[in-house]
């Protein structure tokens, strides 16, 4: 699958149908009055959040969407048929931006959530509407109103509770595959994850949370280097960040990688640094114990919760998941108290 998380589209609602100019033709009625009906309303363009989609790939090939126009009115005061609405399905987490103003106009995060992207034009009035005591036979009607048209930018921000961040080959994909049913590509070279991966971590039969594996970050990512900012936006909605740190290369290398990731997160969006962070010291099965201890002490001095794990063997993973679940529950409770949507 080619993951696409940005798209630009043009939408146009249907035009309203014109009103009719018509006069009654009845037997034994020498001068029939006006009976032209109104035109039909143009169809709306509607964006619909669909939980079955996870990419904006369809918009790579089709970028122009035009709804059906309303039909013209007819005699005998018959109204024209309204144009059909055009429904465009988008993935959950799609943010809609008006390209002309740069403003966010919609954020579609709930299954079945609908947003009218362009409203159809109102149908024109038929000549029957214009009959008065002084003008009993109007020979004119109204044209329908034009449908709204807009240029929109779609951005996909995945909905996940926990965001996995770290340098390439830190072991994020291995961890995701161990704790969920997700099966991302895993190999012993950097950048095996080229698209964000989602996995559902089950705590019990009725409790779970979503974990997102974001492709590895390198220095300068927030300016567009490497994977760039293409995937950093996907951790903006998460409740907690899990920083997977490879400690097999020694304490100094681990510290260097940690600082680099933190700099990239703050460079992209300063608000990311305010999110709770749990650090998983990964690959302890092949790391020097003394070097791991140095990293643990360093993180504790900064007040950051750190846990030693091996995503490969499973050591320490259960305890890590319980810790993450605690953060997710706190976030959901806070969101519920504020009367906002839980994501």
Q: Is the pLDDT of residue 182 over 90?
A: no
User: Which has the minimum average pLDDT: 78-82, 182-186, 268-272?
Assistant: 182-186
107-143 pLDDT, tens digit each = 998 999 999 999 999 999 999 999 998 888 899 999 9
Q: What is the mean pLDDT of residues 202-224?
A: 70
Q: What's the Cα-to-Cα distance from 112 to each of 91, 105, 262, rounded to whole Å?
A: 10, 17, 36
Distance in angstroms (rounded) separating the CA atoms of residues 305 and 158: 25
Q: Which residue has the higher pLDDT, 90 or 181?
A: 90
Task: Determine the Cα–Cα distance for residues 188 and 298; give it in Å rounded to an integer.
Answer: 28
Would you place residue 25 in the very low, low, confident or very high pLDDT band (cuts 50, 70, 90)?
Answer: confident
Annotate 195-224 with b (16+ C-beta within 10 A) or e (fewer). Answer: bbbbbebeeeeeeebbbbbbbbbbbebbee
pLDDT band at 5 (very low <50, low <70, confident <90, very high): confident
Note the pTM of the prediction, 2 decimals: 0.67
Write down the residue that tokens 């996870």 correspond to.
54
Of residues 215 and 43, the one with the higher pLDDT is: 43
For the chain, the straight-line distance linking the first and the last C-alpha, in angstroms and rounded, comes to 25
pLDDT, tens digit, 9 for 90 and up, residues 306-328: 999 999 999 999 999 999 999 99
What mean pLDDT comes out for the span 15-39?
Answer: 86
Domains of the chain: residue spans and CATH: 6-156 (2.70.210.12), 162-337 (3.40.50.300)
Q: What pLDDT is recorded for position 343?
A: 33
Asked whether the CA dihedral 227, 229, 234, 237 is positive or negative, the reply is positive
Assign 317 to helix, strand or coil.
helix
Q: Name which of 30, 91, 23, 34 is nearest 57 in CA terms.
A: 91
**Burial per residue of 170-190, b for 16 or more beta-carbon CB atoms within 10 angstroms, e otherwise:** bbbbbbbbbbbebebebeeee
3-state secondary structure of 43: coil
Quick: pLDDT tens for 244-288: 999 999 999 999 999 988 888 888 888 888 889 999 999 999 999
User: Distance between CA 153 and CA 145 in Å, rounded?
Assistant: 25
Predicted confidence at residue 230, as pLDDT, reads 57
Q: How confident is the model at residue 226 (pLDDT cuts 50, 70, 90)?
A: very low
* Angle of helix 251-268 versus helix 289-301 axis, rounded to 10: 40
Share of the chain above pLDDT 90, in %: 57
Find the largest Cα–Cα distance for the chain. 108
Q: Higher-confidence residue: 4 or 272?
A: 272
- pLDDT, position 187: 43
- pLDDT for 204: 87
Question: For residues 161 and 336, what is the distance between their CA atoms, to the nearest angstrom?
Answer: 15
At a CB cut-off of 8 Å and minimum separation 6, what does 101 contact? none
Mean pLDDT of the chain: 86
- Residue 297 tokens, joined: 């002490």
- 228, 217 in Cβ contact below 8 A? no
Residues 324-336: pLDDT tens digits? 999 999 988 886 6
pLDDT band, residue 189 (cuts 50/70/90): very low
**pLDDT attached to residue 221:** 42
Confidence of residue 341 (pLDDT cuts 50, 70, 90): very low
The residue among 28 and 302 whose pLDDT is bigger is: 302
- Residue identified by tokens 């305890």 is 319
């Amino acid at each position: 699958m080619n993951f696409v998380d940005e798209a630009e589209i043009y939408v146009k609602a249907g035009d309203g149908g014109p009103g009719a100019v018509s006069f009654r033709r009845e037997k034994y009625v020498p001068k029939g009055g006006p009976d032209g009906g109104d035109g039909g309303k143009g169809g709306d363009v509607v964006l619909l959040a669909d939980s079955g989609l996870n990419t904006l790939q369809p918009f790579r090939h089709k970028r122009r969407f035009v709804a059906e126009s309303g039909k013209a009115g007819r005699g005998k005061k018959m109204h024209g048929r309204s144009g059909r609405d055009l429904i465009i399905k988008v993935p959950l987490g799609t943010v809609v931006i008006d390209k002309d103003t740069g403003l966010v106009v919609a954020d579609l995060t709930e299954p079945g959530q609908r947003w009218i992207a362009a409203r159809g034009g109102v149908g024109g009035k038929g000549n029957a509407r214009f009959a008065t005591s002084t003008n009993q036979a109007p020979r004119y009607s109204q044209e329908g109103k034009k449908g709204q048209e807009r240029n929109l930018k779609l951005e996909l921000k995945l909905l996940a509770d926990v965001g996995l961040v770290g340098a390439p080959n830190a072991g994020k994909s291995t961890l995701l595959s161990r704790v969920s049913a997700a099966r991302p590509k895993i190999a012993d070279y950097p950048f095996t994850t080229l698209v964000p991966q989602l996995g559902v971590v089950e705590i019990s039969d009725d409790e779970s949370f979503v974990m997102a594996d974001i492709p590895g970050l390198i220095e300068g990512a927030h300016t567009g280097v490497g994977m760039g900012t293409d995937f950093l936006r996907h951790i903006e909605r998460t409740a907690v960040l899990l920083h997977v740190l490879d400690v097999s290369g020694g304490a100094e290398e681990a510290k260097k990688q940690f600082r680099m990731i933190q700099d990239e997160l703050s460079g992209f969006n300063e608000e990311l640094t305010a999110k709770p962070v749990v650090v998983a010291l990964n690959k302890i099965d092949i790391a020097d114990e003394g070097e791991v201890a140095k990293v643990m002490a360093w993180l504790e001095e900064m007040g950051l919760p750190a846990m030693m794990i091996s995503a490969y063997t499973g050591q320490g993973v259960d305890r890590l998941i319980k810790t993450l679940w605690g953060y997710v529950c706190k976030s959901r409770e806070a969101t519920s108290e504020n009367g906002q949507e839980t994501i």
